[in-house]
Amino acid sequence: MSALLFLSKSSAIRAALLIQRWYRQYVARLEIRRRCTWNIFQSIEYAGQQDQIKLYSFFGFLMDHFTPASSESKTVTLITHSFIQWERYFCYKSIDVPDSYTGPHLTFPMTFCGVSKLVEAFKHKQQLHARYVLQILGETWRLLRILPNISHLSSCHTKEITICGDLHGQLEDLLLIFYKNGLPSTEKPYVFNGDFVDRGKNSLEILLILFGFLLVYPNDVHLNRGNHEDHIVNLRYGFTKEVLGKYRVHGKKILKLLQKIFSWLPLATVIDHKVLIAHGGISDTTDLNVIARVDRHKVRTTFHFQFKTEIRNGDAGVPVDFRRRVRSLTHHSSTPPQGLPRRSLHNLHTSHQHMNWSVDDELKKRRRLAGFDQSYGERKKPDSDSDPECEEGTETYEHEWEQMVDLLWSDPMPQNGCIPNEVRGGGCYWGPDVTEEVLGRHNLQLLIRSHECKQDGYEFCHNRRVLTIFSASNYYEVGSNRGAYIRMGADLVPHFVQYQASRTCRELTLRQSVGWTERSALQALRRQLFVHKSDLISAFREARHSSHLFVGIISPSHWASATESVLKLGLPWRVLRPQLVSSTKNGMVDYQEWMKELSITEPKLEISDTSLLETMYKNHSNLETIFRIIDTDHSGLISYEEFRQTWKLLSSHLKTEISDDVIANLAQSIDFNKDGSIDINEFMEAFRLVDLSAHS
């Protein structure tokens, strides 16, 4: 009897171990899929940022030299740099609130009750009247102008400081934080670490709530500037479109005032002289004493500097496969590569002056070739509120600008050193040695930064001396990541609170959540492959010739290397191949059949010119940005002539030839309602890819 009992227990233990082993393998496979999905989303996101930076000089030229047609815009150009004159321009008093308005009515000075009312209104999807929007923004602008570049606050045993990362227009996340943690007050101070706007649909609502609490509790609510608090970035990533869509009459004035507010946001926060909070990070040249003295309001956009950084570093970039090594800091290499170059400021000023002249000259030439007849002059100096004599070309200004850019754009890496951030296209990557040196030099013990989406909402690196916090849950897709915020008491030990704002995600199992995000990531990747069809075919043919294989056949390794050479996303293509390619023959990839499979994703437009179609899809975000710059009256409508000029200007920049007849036919095909003008919404709808598999 005892022997049978022993055998029974032994079998039960063996079965339990087998189940445990199976479950661990199951979870490990899901984790691998989740990480691969994550890399796809992040690679595509960073590729978009690189694209934006490469076209900065192009966008900047349009912003500087395209003379607006509207009388309001002409009025703006006549305003000097006086605060008083700008405040008159932004004055809300001439704007009446009609009796039909059903949203919240605000009184000033702002009170806790007033901001609470605002939060409730936005929770129920009500819109604040433009008069109140301008009033809140105006009061915020006045307050920010007296704040220092670096905010200092002290912890207390009786209350914790709450630190939030990127929100990116996701109002649900902010409301959930307030629900779980409480509203800001003297007893509950908050630090919001930048990137309040873009991508999400409620960026303006988030700003108004945060600004409202800042006005009520200026000593207990602290807002740091992020890299998305930048009007050039906003053109590309949705905030400009959001504001103009919600406030068609006063949207432009709101955006102009926000541009000034963004430039006055503080750059960093320090707790108890021990914890530094900044949006992006640091570099080997970071000096908080210099940052404390920077005229931050003179730096309206950091993109001008990104272009100069690219020039400064020349071709001495980082290999593409470096992206894979720096994408996640959760797995450190035991033997970090040596010889990574440190950045140098030598000869920066001289080389920039020469290159800036040549770029301006080239863009002016392209503008003339494109047929623009608007007047243009020399590149403008920064739009300073108080010092119109600021010299952008001085070496001091360059150095201060670099300090700000590194603070807003940089990312940590596991290897020692400090190198240009080739993945994002701007800022730098800094290693543990730089962290130790900079924190040690300023007698700090911890750097809290944001700027990077993390699957768990937070992540330590550099021997737990650098902490990334990200507060926008489901950033890439439902279930892609948790959001998190930090509670920090007098002991300066961070405590994390994680959450998922989406109820749908909370109801999914782990397998369902991974499957959901994986399908979305692969669909996004297929779109990237679709718009690079011609380049991919050329790369495959070249690889086939070198390996002497049959027509249309290529080895999996050649397929992976050719795909990476075209897309440059730094992804594990050999791992992804089974999910992307089903056309194989004897272990070889039939790329001709695979190209037919890619047609499962089709455009709505019917255009016979394949090269033009691919050019459109590769640059549709840039085209939308250009359209919004040229649409100076913000009517959302663009004439055929403006459409032609836009295409001519972009094609000259891309060094492609597009005839007037082709552009005319394209304009007519996009003009769905045939009213003789192109609605920007029509334009973007034309670029929406349709997944035919979803309808089959």
Taking the C-alpha atoms of residue 344 and residue 307, their distance in angstroms, rounded to an integer, is: 16
What are the CA-CA distances from residue 212 to residues 170, 206, 217, 643, 666 (Å)? Answer: 17, 10, 9, 40, 46
Which run of H or of E encompasses 384? none
**Residue 228 is among the residues annotated as catalytic for this protein:** yes
Taking the C-alpha atoms of residue 559 and residue 590, their distance in angstroms, rounded to an integer, is: 10
Which residue has tokens 């199976």? 22
Residues contacting 696, CB < 8 A, separation 6+: none
The b/e string for 617-630 (b: 16+ C-beta within 10 A; e otherwise) is bbbbbbbbbbbbbb
- Left (φ > 0), alpha (ψ -120 to 50) or beta: where does 692 sit? alpha
Taking the C-alpha atoms of residue 238 and residue 254, their distance in angstroms, rounded to an integer, is: 15
Q: And the tokens for 285? A: 């040249």
The b/e string for 443-477 (b: 16+ C-beta within 10 A; e otherwise) is ebebbbbbbbbbbebbbebbeebbbbbbbbbbbbb
* CB count in 10 Å sphere of residue 269: 22
> Residue 302: which of 83, 52, 619, 472 has the closest Cα?
52
> Residue 51: which of 291, 176, 237 has the closest Cα?
237
Which of 228, 352, 634, 653 is catalytic? The answer is 228
CA angle at 392 for the pair 388 and 398, rounded to the nearest 5°: 140
- Give the DSSP per-residue string, 625-687: HHHHHH-TT--SEEEHHHHHHHHHHHHHHHT----HHHHHHHHHHH-TT-SSEEEHHHHHHHT
* CB count in 10 Å sphere of residue 423: 24
* CB count in 10 Å sphere of residue 537: 15
Can the peptide bond before residue 494 be classed as cis, meaning omega within 30 degrees of 0?
A: no
- Catalytic residue numbers read 228
